[in-house]
Structure 1
Amino acid sequence: MRPIYAAEAAGELAARTFGAIARRQILALGFGASRIRDWKRVGRLHPTRYRGVYAWGRPDLPEKGGLAAGLLYAGRGSALDGLSALWWQGLLEHRPERINIASPRRASSCADLRILHPLRIERHVHEDLPVVDLARSLLVASAELEHNSLRLVLARADYDKDIPFSLRSLQEAIRRGPEGSRALRAAMAAHLPQLARCTSPLEIDFVLLCEANGITIPQPNVRKGRFVPDMTWEEARLIVELDGRDAHTSEAQRATDASRQKWLESLGYTVIRFSWGEVHFREAWVAGRVRALLAR
């Protein structure tokens, strides 16, 4: 194959995996080791941190390309696993430091890759990359997530209609007691769907405060006309607004808050505000005030 057409063929293959390409893929196209050396010399191929995997055309890969490179290293049939699978599906905010991958091959962990070798891998594609099934990823992640973090992931999975999930299927998956099932079973027993509607850590902390103090769980972020209050108890006509550490401090912000509160009060709601410090350091006082207003 002429060099220009060879480069086009390899480039098209790399484009399918977002700039990453494995040595075995190049060899499968019919090119030899000498062609790989030539492409490395002229800057078409750039080594990655994973042996036998290259970046095509430029040394840096986009985020999706970096994950694809890890999957190529792990071998055919691999998928994102554990925390990485949860994060890629939007169930965790922060990318894990290490990329967790389930592989049916003999690949070993290296660099920032943690390669796991389950007996069976059930996977599906999410945002162009393969991920293991939710039960598997939760079981693996349970060793690294606290109880309430697991509950948050469950709530988000239950809320997200694009993720194949049901509590019944999850219960079946842990029925025989695989590793991690105890923590996952405890999180399922304390399932709190309202966590999925929280849009900030402060909102999550407030919902958990209500739960810990035996207060009816509010509905987070339910739209009222042009506004979306943080917390609402519809039957009690009570709204709680939460002020983060750096929010609602300028004169303009306070004026906006006052206008918003006046409009909500015109609909018959009682509106109260709590700051980040009050939620975290005056829990009993916050709970008492909410409880008193709900009891009216």
Structure 2
Amino acid sequence: MTDHREGRADARSPHGVSRDDGTPDARIARRQHGVSHDDGTPDARIARRQHGVAHEAGTPDARIAHIARRQHGVVSRRQALEAGLGSTTVHRRVEAGRWVRLQHGVYRVGIVPAPLEWAAAVCLAVGADAVISHTSAAYLRGWMSGEPPEPPHITVPGRRPRARVGLRLHGVPSLATSEKDRASGFPVTGAERTLLDIASMLATRDLERVVAHALKNDELSVAQLDHLRARCRGRPGCGKLRAVIDQSGGARFTRSEAEARFLELIRSAELPIPRTNARLGPFELDAIWTRERVVVEVDGYAFHRSRDRFESDRRKDAWLMARGYRVIRVTWRQLTEHPTRTAVQVGRALEAATKR
């Protein structure tokens, strides 16, 4: 007698597989012939991997892959468990080397390391209140080049952090909103705070480069540097930072910034407004009162004052004095720290000129 069920199977499939009935034979046939639908069994998952079929949406691995794409290829253990992966599976993947531990409870799940995976791993490891700080924040801001600092620096407000392997933690009582920022997509300390933190960690030359970079890219203003100079009192590296900010240390203050500060001082003292950036003979002068024959030159906006610049200034002064001009040279420090004294000096020179 003919087995009608067998005949119907032959009619439906040249390979004799009538349907997925969950039997071992059905699963073997499915693997052999590339059938990749997911019935949730281990064999189905093996078949899917063998034939290059991507994880279906809604599976734990699909959810983890989606999370990792947003986080530079990194996920936390907690995220993996919430996505539906078992604790044992997480452990096995780490032990097998499929996942690489970057921080406590944080793993790289991709094959190729992302450039900023370290920052993503740090943020997942330390919690929402903490921010990347010190040289790590400077690196994310683009103030430093090369490899990211090891270990990463983290500032944690409100409590004394416990030591953790692979992290350099700094506890502070609090962080004001103005002391927080974002750089390269990550929470970091603000520009002023970052500069304060790294002052003791960098050589003077490197600190000069950082200050020049921050000014050039409008991450710090001259007014903020003035504030920092006073704020750093008693902190490690304060003397070095002040030396950089001061004219003698060579922080790069632009001519326009110096001119604006000087004119603000003249107006507040209710003195006559001079001509600025005026040509006289072969020279351009910062400020000149033509009738009174008084000239003010503001020093301190060259990154490094060279011998050539020094000698050029002396030639200019000699040329002006030979023609009856009084030359007053004002430093950036005088403008910012002793404005009243500076205004009095200029005012007396103008007054004396009117009596000649």
What is the correspondence of 1:1-296 to structure 2 with a 5 Å cutoff?
5-29=59-83, 31-37=85-91, 39-40=93-94, 45-48=99-102, 50-58=103-111, 60-95=112-147, 96-104=149-157, 106=161, 108-111=163-166, 113-121=167-175, 122-161=179-218, 163=219, 165-173=220-228, 175-176=230-231, 177=233, 179-180=235-236, 181-190=238-247, 191-193=251-253, 211=305, 213=307, 215=309
**Larger relative contact order (C-alpha < 8 A, sep ≥ 6)?**
1
In 2 relative to 1, CA 33–100 (structure 1 residues): closer, same or farther, beyond 3 Å? same
Give 1:159 shift: 0.6
SS in 1 for 2:210: helix
Q: Distance in 2 between matches of 1:63 and 1:108?
A: 25
Mean alpha-carbon deviation: is it higher for 126-135 or for 32-41?
Answer: 32-41
> Contact 2:229–2:245 at 8 Å: present in 1 too?
no
In 2 relative to 1, CA 42–97 (structure 1 residues): closer, same or farther, beyond 3 Å? closer
Q: Distance in 1 between matches of 2:117 and 2:154?
A: 15
Give 1:79 shift: 2.4
Q: Alpha-carbon deviations, 1:236-282, whole Å to 9, x = none?
A: 9xxxxxxxxxxxxxxxxxxxxxxxxxxxxxxxxxxxxxxxxxxxxxx
What letter is aligned with 1:155?
A: A
Q: Distance in 1 between matches of 2:79 and 2:227?
A: 38
Q: Alpha-carbon deviations, 1:78-121, whole Å to 9, x = none?
A: 3221112112212123333432222347352423x322222234
Q: Distance in 1 between matches of 2:100 and 2:198?
A: 33
Q: Give the structure with higher Rg (CA).
A: 2
Give 1:147 shift: 2.3
Give 1:28 shift: 4.4
In 2 relative to 1, CA 217–40 (structure 1 residues): closer, same or farther, beyond 3 Å? farther
Q: Give me the TM-score of the superposition, normalised by structure 2.
A: 0.48
Question: Could you list the runs of 5+ residues in structure 1 that have no partner in the other structure?
Answer: 195-206, 219-235, 237-296
Q: Alpha-carbon deviations, 1:111-146, whole Å to 9, x = none?
A: 3x3222222343222222222111111111111112
> Contact 1:83–1:100 at 8 Å: present in 2 too?
yes
Q: Distance in 2 between matches of 1:217 and 1:94?
A: 38
